[in-house]
């Protein structure tokens, strides 16, 4: 069932849907967002049956689930099998956060030599059974909806759950951050100050948080619809070396195709391939 | 060829002179009228239009350098307050705000009700409005008051604003008002006009409310020297600006460039980020968002700025999209600004302020793109749709601005047509709704849902019927309605089928799928008055036998001897003994002559295009071949911009069009 069907009122999500939140390779920050819905938390809790949510309850469930929220990327062989089992147990599968939707910051290792990366992180890498790549959930199973962000926004999570319960289309815009800057009357940091800003290619959802504080957008919500990463990169390269432009794209959503293209054209993320950051590479963008 | 703005209406009162040291008198006089003053001030390294208290907030001694993709605030250490050119804020922020509440739904004993929100329009004074910006206010006012129903929120805000224009003494490198005929001389529409000299301001009152403020300044008349220097400085500015955009014949040149390969080249650079449209002082497009509580009973809708550059803007039910490519969206924007705006509103949509050039994050310059797509020497190629001559544009008449009117109706009958389509009978005694004409549509409002446009499938003395297919959440709850359910309707809207034009002629009706629904009132009207029409031929196609609507009525048609009726399905089932194929097969080998006949066609785009070709082969003329189009009709009254198709708003100018009116707009992809 697609999200459109789920929110259409015909193939109805039950009045009190069974909902679970699970995680793969991630930091837990996105699922904690549910607890950030402080004012609405009790009302939502009455309307759903939260059968698994490790951050709030020790209760576990093997399914089935009406709605499964998945945080994190697939980084190990076990995870690659587990997500297939969970998909089969779920009516609606919704990825939450940059790791689940595009691979996350850990996907930077996808450009590096896997053994070198493991050797740089673990004293005895033979004990670590990881995959060579960290990949989004949609690379493994069908995904019905995405809630973007690093981390996701409480307002978008609330909107998604509300729309699901009411049976309407959730208002999760896929337009550029720029639209929100303009509506909020935030002066464009790229045009007025020459700051590197990923806003034109990044999906809104944060409320244009960074530009509101005079900083460029870091692309936390990943590529917007029609994201023209190469178009923005060509413009930035008038003033910056290609490695610096690639570095701007090589963050939480580096592995998403519109950003990956820019990084690939620069020969991969800047820095050595053994995964150990050099001092000059680690802080250049920020 | 540069043109000058229309000069303001001459006023008897001689210009006054406000010494620089006394400028705060102006702010005091404006506040004394109960207004909050909005004016130029420095924020976030730009000159923006925000609330200001007085002279100390003005950007005295500052200017700005602009170039494609660049704006830099710089000191000029002068004494002047208004030498900063054009910043990022357009005044539409205050007359057409980025977000306003539209409707509120609340629970009630008979179910939730939907009510429009009354606008809250604070009295404001705009200080520092440039000539181009004044032109933009006029243009946007024309848009927001165009028929059939003006925008009540805009009208309230514009009427509550007092405009203090300031004539430019400097121009940015991105300015081109001289080409667009909007400046640098201030044209009509201001209440007060200031010209800034080093020692102070020449002040002219240009309206009654403006005169009240000017009188309150209690300053002397300006000297001839002062007014002379004010006139000379703007004349000098005009000389230095030149004429960067050749506008002669531009609307026609752009129309002829609709298939130009340069659109795809621009799309390589364009980020479709929406910045150009949102800084543009005339762009007016909006979308409606829905918010609700967890029960969907208490809900609000709000209207936000949107842009033809966003993918969602061209999206319709079922997730089809009319402008999937960035090239489609750039073409829509540029041709609308400089060409089809003329057809819609009788002017250019561009005032030459240059914001779209400076605030494009990748420096795309409309002046250069216009030269590439529609160079001055371009031959006037075939024009893709018929238009009034350039000096004969006839935009829609200005409307009486009234709040949106929602009429509560009650479901009295529900008939399931197919597994995804139902016909609802909605009882009403509202005279306006019951006066609906065949081909018109209504917007159906429900709490916590968008309000989709639904064509009327039958007009009864005490009710309307709507035939609705489930394609998304809003139509889901409509198709799940039961007798006793209540829906608020807005309408009727749109241009009806020209049934009277068909009287005395042969009639051809071609319907595909759900397209039968808006044609059913045509059938009703023709059959009710059967002797007044010539031969009546009806051709109906459906995907499968199970997708046929109004099955008993189709059977009755098949039994009539006074109409020719034929059906066909794409895919047959075990119970189908009729024809299989596409609807054009029903008449392509027929021998009847169509010359002089009137055709009414509705169905999917490709079906309609094939049908039009097929009927043309029978001799039907394009100006008597009528189609009804689907677009994203979100407001229904030509104000939100979603349903534009070349020179038309489908909701306002259609949805019924003749093929002759549409021209290539009927078949051009991505328009």
Give per-residue pLDDT as tens, B235-267.
999 999 999 998 989 999 999 999 999 999 999
Q: Which residues pair with B569 in a beta bridge?
A: B542, B580
The strand pair at B200-205 and B192-197 is best described as antiparallel
Q: What would the mean pLDDT of B418-432 be, rounded to a whole number?
A: 96
Q: How far is B570 from chain A (nearest CA, A)?
A: 25
Q: Which residues pair with B50 in a beta bridge?
A: B39
Contacts with B424 (C-beta within 8 Å, 6 or more apart), sequence order: B411, B413, B414, B465, B466, B467, B468, B478, B481, B487
Interatomic CA distance for residues B345 and A50, integer angstroms: 55
Closest CA to B98 of A185, A209, A159: A185
Token representation of residue A116: 């070198």
Q: Is there a contact between B492 and B436 (Cβ–Cβ < 8 Å)?
A: yes
Token representation of residue B607: 């079906």
Residues of B in contact with A214 (CB under 8 A): 44
Sign of the Cα torsion B355, B357, B360, B361 reads: negative
Give the closest of B48, B70, B480 to A187, CB-based: B48
Interatomic CA distance for residues B287 and B30, integer angstroms: 34
Token representation of residue B168: 């430019």
Mutation for A interface: B59, B70, B273, most A CBs within 10 A:
B273
Q: Angle, nearest 10°, between helix axes A242-249 and A257-265?
A: 160
Cα distances (angstroms) measured from residue B588 to each of B506, B522, B582, B585, B607: 17, 23, 11, 5, 14
Q: How far is B51 from chain A (nearest CA, A)?
A: 13
Q: What would the mean pLDDT of B500-513 be, rounded to a whole number?
A: 96
Decide: helix, strand or coil at residue B290. strand
Nearest CA in chain A to B44: A187
- How many other CB atoms are there within 10 angstroms of residue B90's CB atom? 24
% of chain B at pLDDT higher than 70: 95
Please tell me the predicted confidence (pLDDT) of residue A118. 86
Nearest CA in chain A to B470: A8
Mutation for B interface: A9, A156, A173, most B CBs within 10 A:
A9
Q: Is there a contact between B447 and B299 (Cβ–Cβ < 8 Å)?
A: yes
pTM: 0.93
Cβ separation of B291 and A44 shorter than 8 Å?
Answer: no
Cβ separation of B362 and A174 shorter than 8 Å?
Answer: no
Give the closest of B279, B294, B479 to A43, CB-based: B294
Cβ separation of B48 and A191 shorter than 8 Å?
Answer: no
Decide: helix, strand or coil at residue B211. helix
By the 10 Å C-beta count (0-12 exposed, 13-18 middle, 19+ buried), B561 is classed as exposed
B287-314 as b/e: b if 16+ CB within 10 A:
bbbbbbbbbbbbbbbbbbbbbbbbbebb
Give the closest of A159, A179, A187 to B44, CB-based: A187
Mutation for A interface: B93, B271, B291, B302, most A CBs within 10 A:
B271
Please tell me the predicted confidence (pLDDT) of residue B395. 53
How many whole angstroms from its chain centre is CA B47? 29
Tokens 């009228």 sit on residue = B33
Cβ separation of A10 and B278 shorter than 8 Å?
Answer: no
Q: How far is A155 from chain B (nearest CA, A)?
A: 11
Residue A192 sits at the chain B interface (C-beta within 8 Å): yes
Maximum average pLDDT range among A50-64, B25-39, B370-384: B25-39
Contacts with B337 (C-beta within 8 Å, 6 or more apart), sequence order: B280, B282, B348, B349, B350, B366
Gap between the terminal Cα atoms of chain A: 42
| Low-confidence stretches of chain A (pLDDT beneath 70) | 1-12, 272-286
Please tell me the predicted confidence (pLDDT) of residue A282. 44
Interatomic CA distance for residues B485 and B410, integer angstroms: 6
- Chain A residues 196-225 with a CB less than 8 Å from chain B: 197, 199-201, 214, 225
Give the closest of A9, A43, A183 to B305, CB-based: A183
In this structure, of A188-192, B297-301, B308-312, B582-586, the range with the lowest mean pLDDT score is B297-301
Please tell me the predicted confidence (pLDDT) of residue B200. 97
DSSP structure string for A206-264: S-SHHHHTT-----TT-B-TT--HHHHHHHHTTTS-HHHHHHHHSSTTTTSHHHHHHHH
Indicate the pLDDT class of residue B277, thresholds 50, 70 and 90: very high
Cβ separation of B448 and A47 shorter than 8 Å?
Answer: no
Please tell me the predicted confidence (pLDDT) of residue B110. 72
Please tell me the predicted confidence (pLDDT) of residue B583. 95
Residues of B in contact with A40 (CB under 8 A): 294
Contacts with A255 (C-beta within 8 Å, 6 or more apart), sequence order: A102, A103, A104, A107, A110, A134, A135, A136
Residue A240 sits at the chain B interface (C-beta within 8 Å): no
Mutation for B interface: A47, A188, A224, most B CBs within 10 A:
A188
Residues of B in contact with A44 (CB under 8 A): 294
- How many other CB atoms are there within 10 angstroms of residue B434's CB atom? 15
Nearest CA in chain A to B99: A183
Contacts with B404 (C-beta within 8 Å, 6 or more apart), sequence order: B103, B116, B149, B152, B490
Q: How far is A130 from chain B (nearest CA, A)?
A: 37
pLDDT mean across residues, chain B: 92
Interatomic CA distance for residues B460 and B153, integer angstroms: 34
Indicate the pLDDT class of residue B389, thresholds 50, 70 and 90: very low
């Amino acid at each position: 069932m697609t999200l459109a069907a789920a929110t259409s009122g015909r193939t109805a999500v039950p009045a009190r849907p069974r909902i679970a939140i699970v995680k793969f390779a991630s930091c837990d920050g996105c699922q904690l967002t549910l607890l950030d819905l402080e004012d609405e938390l009790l009302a939502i809790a009455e309307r759903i049956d939260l059968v698994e949510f490790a951050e709030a309850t020790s209760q576990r469930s093997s399914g089935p689930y009406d709605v499964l929220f998945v945080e994190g990327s697939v980084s190990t062989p076990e995870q690659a099998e587990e997500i297939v089992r969970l998909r089969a147990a779920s009516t609606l599968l919704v990825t939450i956060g940059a790791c689940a939707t595009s691979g996350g910051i850990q996907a930077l290792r996808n450009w590096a030599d896997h053994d070198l990366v493991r050797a740089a992180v673990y004293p005895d890498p033979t004990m670590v059974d990881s995959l060579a790549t960290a990949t989004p959930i949609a690379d493994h199973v069908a995904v019905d909806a995405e809630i973007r962000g690093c981390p996701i926004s409480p307002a978008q999570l609330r909107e998604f759950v509300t729309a699901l319960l009411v049976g309407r289309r959730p208002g999760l815009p896929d337009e550029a951050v720029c639209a929100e800057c303009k509506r909020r009357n935030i002066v464009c940091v790229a045009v007025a100050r020459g700051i590197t800003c990923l806003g034109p290619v990044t999906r809104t959802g944060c409320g244009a948080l960074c530009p509101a504080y005079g900083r460029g957008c870091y692309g936390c919500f990943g590529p917007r619809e029609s994201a023209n990463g190469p178009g923005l990169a060509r413009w930035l390269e008038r003033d910056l070396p290609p490695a610096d432009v690639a570095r701007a794209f090589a963050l939480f959503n580096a592995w998403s195709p519109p950003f990956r293209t820019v990084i690939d054209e620069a020969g991969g993320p800047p820095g050595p391939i053994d995964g150990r950051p050099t001092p000059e590479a680690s802080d250049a963008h920020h | 060829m540069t043109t000058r703005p229309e000069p303001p209406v001459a006023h008897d009162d001689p210009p006054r002179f406000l010494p620089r040291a006394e400028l705060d008198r102006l702010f005091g006089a404006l506040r004394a009228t109960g207004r909050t003053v909005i004016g130029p001030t420095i924020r976030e390294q730009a000159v923006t239009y925000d609330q200001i208290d007085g002279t100390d907030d003005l950007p005295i001694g500052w200017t700005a350098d602009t170039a494609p993709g660049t704006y830099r605030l710089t000191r000029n250490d002068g004494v002047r307050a208004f030498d900063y050119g054009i910043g990022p804020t357009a005044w539409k922020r205050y007359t057409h705000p980025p977000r306003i509440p539209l409707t509120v739904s609340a629970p009630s004993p008979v179910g939730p009700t939907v009510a429009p929100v009354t606008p809250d329009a604070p009295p404001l004074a705009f200080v520092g409005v440039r000539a181009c910006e004044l032109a933009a206010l006029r243009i946007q006012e024309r848009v927001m008051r165009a028929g059939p129903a003006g925008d009540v929120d805009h009208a309230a805000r514009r009427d509550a604003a007092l405009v203090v224009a300031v004539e430019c003494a400097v121009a940015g490198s991105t300015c081109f008002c001289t080409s667009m005929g909007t400046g640098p001389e201030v044209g009509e529409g201001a209440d007060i006009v200031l010209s800034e000299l080093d020692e102070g301001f020449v002040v002219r009152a240009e309206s009654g409310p403006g005169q009240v403020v000017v009188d309150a300044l209690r300053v002397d008349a300006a000297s001839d020297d002062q007014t002379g220097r004010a006139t000379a400085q703007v004349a000098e500015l005009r000389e230095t600006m030149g004429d960067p955009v050749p506008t002669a014949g531009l609307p026609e040149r752009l129309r002829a460039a609709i298939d130009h390969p340069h659109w795809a080249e621009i799309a390589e650079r364009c980020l479709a980020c929406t910045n150009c449209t949102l800084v543009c002082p005339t762009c007016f497009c909006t979308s409606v968002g829905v918010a609700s509580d967890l029960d969907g009973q208490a809900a609000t809708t709000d209207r936000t700025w949107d842009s033809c550059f966003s993918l969602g803007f061209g999206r319709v039910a079922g997730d089809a999209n009319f402008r999937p490519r960035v090239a489609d969206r750039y073409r829509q924007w540029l041709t609308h600004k400089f060409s089809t705006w003329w057809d819609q509103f009788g002017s250019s949509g561009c005032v030459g302020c240059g914001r779209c050039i400076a605030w494009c994050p990748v420096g795309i310059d409309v002046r250069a793109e216009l030269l590439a797509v529609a160079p001055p020497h371009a031959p006037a190629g075939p024009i893709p749709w018929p238009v009034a001559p350039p000096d004969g544009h006839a935009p829609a008449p200005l409307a009486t601005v009234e709040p949106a009117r929602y009429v509560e109706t009650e479901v009295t009958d529900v008939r399931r047509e197919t597994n995804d389509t139902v016909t609802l009978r909605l009882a009403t005694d509202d005279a306006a709704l019951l006066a609906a004409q065949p081909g018109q549509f209504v917007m159906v409002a429900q709490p916590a849902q968008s309000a989709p446009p639904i064509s009327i499938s039958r007009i009864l003395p005490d009710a309307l019927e709507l035939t609705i297919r489930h394609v998304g959440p809003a139509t889901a709850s409509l198709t799940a309605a039961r007798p006793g359910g209540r829906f608020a309707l807005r309408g009727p809207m749109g241009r009806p089928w020209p049934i009277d034009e068909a009287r005395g002629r042969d009639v051809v009706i071609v319907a595909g799928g759900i397209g039968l629904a808006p044609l059913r009132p045509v059938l009703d009207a023709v059959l009710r008055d059967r002797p007044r029409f010539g031969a009546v031929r009806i051709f109906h196609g459906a995907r499968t036998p199970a997708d046929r609507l109004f099955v008993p009525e189709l059977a009755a048609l098949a039994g009539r001897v006074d109409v020719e009726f034929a059906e066909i399905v794409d895919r047959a089932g075990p119970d189908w003994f009729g024809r299989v194929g596409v609807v054009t097969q029903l008449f392509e080998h027929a021998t009847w002559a169509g010359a002089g006949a009137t055709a009414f066609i509705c169905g999917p785009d490709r079906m309609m295009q094939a049908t039009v070709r097929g009927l043309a082969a029978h001799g039907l003329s394009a100006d008597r071949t009528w189609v009804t189009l689907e677009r994203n009709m979100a407001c229904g009254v030509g104000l939100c911009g979603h349903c534009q198709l070349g020179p038309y708003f489908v909701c306002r100018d259609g949805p019924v069009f003749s093929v002759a009116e549409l021209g290539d707009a009927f078949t051009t992809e991505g328009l």
